[in-house]
């Protein structure tokens, strides 16, 4: 076993840390307050190769791998978890879906522009009546001549308002569910409601509306009628990104708590000298360390070519997101009343953390996936 990063991984993660400190952290509170996407930063991350981290060089990617990607996600999330989820969706949900299920033509057309950040992508699975149960989706794709016509509304799509490329999942009458790949200028497609959120406010979350949206037959992504296979296999990798986001948020909350507890004086001494707080900090640090170890293990499984790691990625996402909840809760407690104020970063971290327990499968769904796997059901 080798617990060291190689030189390339170390360089990618160190450069991500510098980018986060210089370009994300100074603007994060303002983007959160105004609910504005930091599109400039996302585009720069594309130019630096962070939007094509698992895309091979032949398709214009930087091919840094899943371990480097997981480490970069931690660094970006420490500074701005909203930007980080944009990076995660592009790498794990859009690029990986095209890479593993796209035709050669689709890979050549889409991946170079996505990997460079020229195009931003999104992954539109959820609907108002189909969240944890995506198979109950109602958006339809019906054959029309040699193409398809899509009708329906998707909701809660990350990157929706800034997306040039959309992966959308539909029902296709008797042929099951199909995934489609389209550009934002497809006729009959529009962006719907922009959500006003509790956290990750610097990310775009929107409805995606399909009204008689006409697509050619080569817009199908993966096998026709096997769209849910595309969605579920892709989400295995997506959970690495969300776990990285949770670890980053938690690590930032721990850093803030260590600093604050040494500065804040009550009863004539820094509050870090109270054993109760020392134990809280020790538990937080242990929690972060454990989740980080799981994160890099599952990323390593992906890099070493394992096709499915459903159980492990579900365990990772479950543990990392609930860990971030525990850590952010303690971080606010350590800050006392100041932790409740927007002047202090832990207030934003506490709100940003919450989504990691919900999207790309709630904690309940992760437990369901794990239980099914260990029971052999």
Residue numbers at the binding site for ligand FAD (CB under 6 A): 89, 122-126, 131-132, 156-158, 197, 205, 355, 358-362, 364-365, 368
Tell me whether residue 357 is one of the annotated catalytic residues.
no
For the bound state, the minimum distance from the C-beta of residue 101 to ligand FAD, rounded and expressed in Å, comes to 16
SS3 190: strand
DSSP run (H or E) holding 270: strand 269-270
**CB-wise, 13 or 315, nearer to ligand FAD?**
315
**CB-wise, 89 or 99, nearer to ligand FAD?**
89
SS3 111: helix
Enter the tokens of residue 26. 């100074």
Integer angstrom CA distances of residue 64 from 41, 54, 244, 315 = 19, 6, 16, 24
For the bound state, the minimum distance from the C-beta of residue 155 to ligand FAD, rounded and expressed in Å, comes to 7
CA pair distance 81, 245, nearest whole angstrom: 7
Burial class (CB in 10 A: 0-12, 13-18, 19+), 4: exposed
Output the residue with the shortest Cβ distance to ligand FAD.
Answer: 131
Instruction: Give DSSP secondary structure letters for 286-349.
Output: HHHHHHHHHHHHHHHHHHTT-S--HHHHHHHHHHHHHHHHHHHHHHHHHTGGGGGSTTSHHHHH
CA pair distance 42, 118, nearest whole angstrom: 10
For the bound state, the minimum distance from the C-beta of residue 255 to ligand FAD, rounded and expressed in Å, comes to 25
**CB-wise, 163 or 284, nearer to ligand FAD?**
163
Q: Residues 91, 299: contact at Cβ < 8 Å?
A: no
**CB-wise, 251 or 360, nearer to ligand FAD?**
360
**CB-wise, 189 or 296, nearer to ligand FAD?**
189
Catalytic residue, candidates 47, 322, 360, 364 = 360
CA pair distance 185, 183, nearest whole angstrom: 6
For the bound state, the minimum distance from the C-beta of residue 308 to ligand FAD, rounded and expressed in Å, comes to 20
Enter the tokens of residue 372. 């099914």
Q: Residues 63, 55: contact at Cβ < 8 Å?
A: yes
**CB-wise, 208 or 271, nearer to ligand FAD?**
208
What residues act catalytically?
Answer: 360
């Amino acid at each position: 076993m080798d617990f060291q990063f190689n030189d390339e991984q170390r360089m990618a993660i160190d450069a991500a840390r510098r980018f986060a400190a210089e370009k994300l952290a100074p603007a994060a509170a303002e983007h959160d307050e105004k609910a504005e996407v930091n599109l400039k930063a996302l585009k720069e991350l594309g130019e630096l190769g962070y939007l094509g981290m698992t895309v091979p060089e032949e398709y214009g990617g930087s091919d840094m791998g899943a371990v480097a990607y997981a480490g970069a996600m931690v660094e970006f999330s420490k500074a701005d978890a909203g930007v980080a989820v944009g990076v995660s969706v592009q790498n794990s949900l859009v690029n990986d879906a095209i890479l593993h299920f796209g035709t050669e033509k689709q890979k050549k057309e889409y991946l170079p522009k996505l990997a460079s950040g020229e195009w931003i992508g999104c992954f539109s699975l959820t609907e108002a009546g189909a969240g944890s149960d995506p198979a109950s989706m109602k958006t339809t794709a019906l054959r029309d001549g040699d193409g398809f016509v899509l009708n329906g509304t998707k909701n809660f799509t990350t990157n929706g308002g800034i997306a040039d490329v959309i992966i959308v999942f539909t029902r296709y009458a008797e042929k099951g569910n199909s995934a489609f790949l389209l550009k934002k200028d497809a006729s009959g497609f529009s962006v719907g409601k922009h959500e006003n959120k509790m956290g990750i406010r610097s990310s775009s979350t929107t409805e995606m509306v399909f009204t008689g949206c006409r697509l050619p037959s080569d817009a199908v992504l993966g096998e026709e009628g096997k769209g849910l296979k595309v969605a579920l296999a892709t989400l295995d990798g997506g959970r690495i990104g969300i776990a990285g986001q949770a670890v980053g948020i938690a690590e930032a909350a721990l850093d803030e708590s260590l600093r604050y507890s040494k500065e804040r004086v009550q009863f004539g001494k820094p509050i870090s000298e109270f054993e109760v707080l020392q134990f809280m900090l020790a538990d937080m640090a242990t929690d972060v360390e454990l989740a980080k170890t799981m994160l890099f293990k599952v990323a390593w499984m992906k890099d070493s070519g394992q096709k499915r790691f459903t159980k492990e990625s579900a365990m990772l996402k479950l543990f990392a997101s609930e860990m971030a909840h525990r850590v952010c809760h303690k971080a606010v407690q350590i800050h006392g009343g100041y932790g409740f104020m927007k002047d202090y970063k832990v207030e934003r971290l506490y709100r940003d953390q919450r989504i990691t327990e919900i999207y790309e499968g709630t904690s309940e769904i992760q437990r369901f996936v794990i239980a099914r796997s260990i029971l052999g059901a």
